[in-house]
Amino acid sequence: MAYLFTSESVSEGHPDKVADQISDALIDNFLAFDAESKVACETLVTTGQVILAGEVKSNTYLDVQQIARDVIKKIGYTKSEYMFEANSCGVLSAIHEQSADINQGVDRATKEEQGAGDQGMMFGYATNETNNYMPLALDLSHALLIELANLRRENNEITYLRPDAKSQVTLEYSDDNKPQRIDAIVISTQHDDFDQEEAMLAKIKKDMIEILIPRVKAKYPQYAHLFNDDITYHINPTGKFVIGGPHGDTGLTGRKIIVDTYGGKGAHGGGAFSGKDPSKVDRSAAYATRHIAKNLVAAGLCDEVLVQVSYAIGVAKPTSINVNTYGTAKVDLKDGDISKIVETIFDMRPYYIEQRLKLRNPIYSETAAYGHMGRTPEVVTKTFKSPDGQSKTVEVELFTWEKLDHVEKVKAAFNL
């Protein structure tokens, strides 16, 4: 019997994502001037206020207030009526030095034996139902909000949009787990104030269906066949949505971990990503397991896979590595045997993850909205400025964990 599955996304202007983007901007600035920085930085945003807290071990000094303001401005909170505005909001920093008790478990006499920054388990997932090996409902949810943000910045076809927004997509799957059609789409978008509520709500719904949806279909033609005349649309279902962003809801770093990963597919170990340098395996090992999962599916080993890894704080070697192919493996091996072979292909010690995926570079700001997984690897040039007038320009590779650079190794190991 057919079944329904739903995933959601939130925009870069959502208060939790504002917090994530500020935290990751701090990470990038620390790493740009000191690649060995150890950082765990949390951000809270609310009406007219940003609060930074966390632990840092670094040889550089940053103007954290200016970095936060630059992020807020880039997102689009630039008007006083938003009650949260880049130039006028207060920024309070309570960042302090990292605990020596934690640092002694990470740093070792040789870099290769670097210990895990925390205990815990991390998951990576991949499926062949999309070109980027991501769950379709989440991919579409992100696409809707990326295009909505483009429309807001263009300020041409739609002129009333504000930065905060959420989306949700419900798909119908067949008995053999193939997506058949879109059953429902939910879009809640913040907007300018207006006099006639009914007329404006009707216009917002019309614009979402007649402007936004066609743009998504055009930009993602591989999904166009899933759209149909029977989709149930819920556009701003509560009605008026003028008060939003940090003024409408307090935002915190690390509260959108399912949006950041697989939209409810696979599994999640519970650890957030943003604000953490790669010594924290919550982040680096989650990227590494996604890298494994994507290369396994792309190599044709299976149609769908979940990879789990776990660590003890201060210990380099993982306490476990597990592969679950959901019965879709194309080789005559049990999942336990597949796990053992995978362990020989991918070294999951923290230092080797950092080296393999080039994680000691300032690459994290781009991850902090619209998902950490399923993105396109690319090389970009970024410039950072320090309070003492130093300027540093670096060329970095983004989303290295999305590269299909181990497909041939997987095929060789499994005789594919």
Binding residue positions = 14, 16, 42, 55, 98, 164-166, 240-241, 249, 255-256, 272, 276, 280
Half-sphere exposure of 333 (CA within 13 A, CB side): 20
* Element counts in the chain: helices (H) and strands (E): 12, 13
Place of tokens 């336990």: 336
- Find the radius of gyration of the CA atoms of the chain: 22
- Phi, psi (rounded to 5 degrees) for 40: -135, 100
Cα separation of 252 and 43, whole Å?
6
Half-sphere exposure of 113 (CA within 13 A, CB side): 5
The two tokens of residue 359 are: 């994680």
Q: Is-contact 14 164, C-beta < 8 A?
A: yes
Cα separation of 400 and 376, whole Å?
9
Q: Is-contact 257 272, C-beta < 8 A?
A: yes
Output the known binding site for Mg(2+).
16
Among 318, 311, 315, 307, smallest CA distance to 342 is for: 307
Among 214, 136, 215, smallest CA distance to 172 is for: 136
Output the known binding site for K(+).
42
Indicate if the alpha-carbon torsion angle 247, 252, 255, 259 is positive or negative: positive
Residues paired with 93 in a beta bridge: 52
Do the bridges between strand 161-173 and strand 179-191 make them parallel or antiparallel, or are there none, so unpaired?
Answer: antiparallel
3-state SS class at 391:
strand
Residues contacting residue 134 through CB under 8 Å, at least 6 positions apart: 126, 127, 262, 371, 373, 374
Q: Is-contact 210 162, C-beta < 8 A?
A: no
Q: Kindly list the distances between the CA atom of residue 292 and the CA atoms of 12, 195, 304, 325, 340, in Å, as whole numbers in the listed order.
A: 28, 53, 12, 12, 13
The two tokens of residue 366 are: 């781009």
Among 7, 9, 252, smallest CA distance to 148 is for: 9
Place of tokens 């614009």: 207
Q: Compute how many other C-beta atoms are within 10 angstroms of the C-beta atom of residue 249.
A: 15
The two tokens of residue 264 are: 């409810």
Residues paired with 396 in a beta bridge: 380
Output the known binding site for L-methionine.
55, 98, 249, 280
